[in-house]
């Protein structure tokens, strides 16, 4: 699983560790890790303190891949922040989408109601046609 982490110095153990900040849930979905979670890098692994890194962990919690997150952060800025996608913009878009969804639901319910009304009218017309046919067949035909 992929995580965003920050390099920290553990003075007690005299080695660097990673503080896990966020976890990738899906391609463009990340979840903040609210509790402090650390992974020791081990002796001899020296990295700049406070450096942001992307770290891929195995199911057992072992580090499989570790890379500087600078390019990833720059990509996020380029992709989202340079075109004005802000949290407020995203909230407004989510609200617009919800209103649109509600409107479509109401339209769909209205169409379903109309469809049922049309079907009932069609059945009434068919019943009336059958009734007229029976009436016509029950009267003797006049000969001209």
Q: pLDDT tens digits for 51-94?
A: 999 999 998 888 889 999 999 999 888 887 777 777 888 899 99
Residue 18: Cβ-neighbour burial (10 angstroms; 0-12, 13-18, 19+)? buried
In whole angstroms, give the CA distance from residue 51 to residue 138: 96
pLDDT at 143: 59
Minimal CA–CA distance to 3: which of 29, 18, 24, 28? 24
Q: pLDDT tens digits for 90-138?
A: 899 999 999 999 999 999 999 999 999 999 999 999 999 999 998 888 8
Domain ranges, ordered by start, for the chain = 2-81, 86-144
């Amino acid at each position: 699983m992929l995580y965003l982490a920050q390099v920290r110095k553990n003075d007690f153990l005299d080695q660097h560790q990673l503080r896990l900040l966020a976890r990738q849930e899906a391609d463009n979905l990340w979840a903040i890790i609210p509790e402090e979670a650390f992974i020791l890098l081990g002796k001899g692994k020296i990295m700049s303190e406070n450096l942001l890194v992307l770290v891929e962990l195995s199911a057992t919690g072992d580090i499989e891949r570790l890379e500087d997150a600078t390019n990833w952060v720059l990509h996020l800025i380029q992709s989202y922040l340079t075109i004005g996608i802000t949290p407020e913009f995203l909230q407004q878009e989510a609200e617009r989408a919800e209103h649109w969804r509600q409107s479509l639901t109401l339209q769909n319910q209205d169409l379903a109601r109309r469809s049922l009304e049309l079907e009932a009218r069609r059945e009434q017309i068919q019943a009336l046609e059958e009734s007229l046919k029976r009436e016509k067949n029950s009267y003797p035909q006049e000969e001209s």
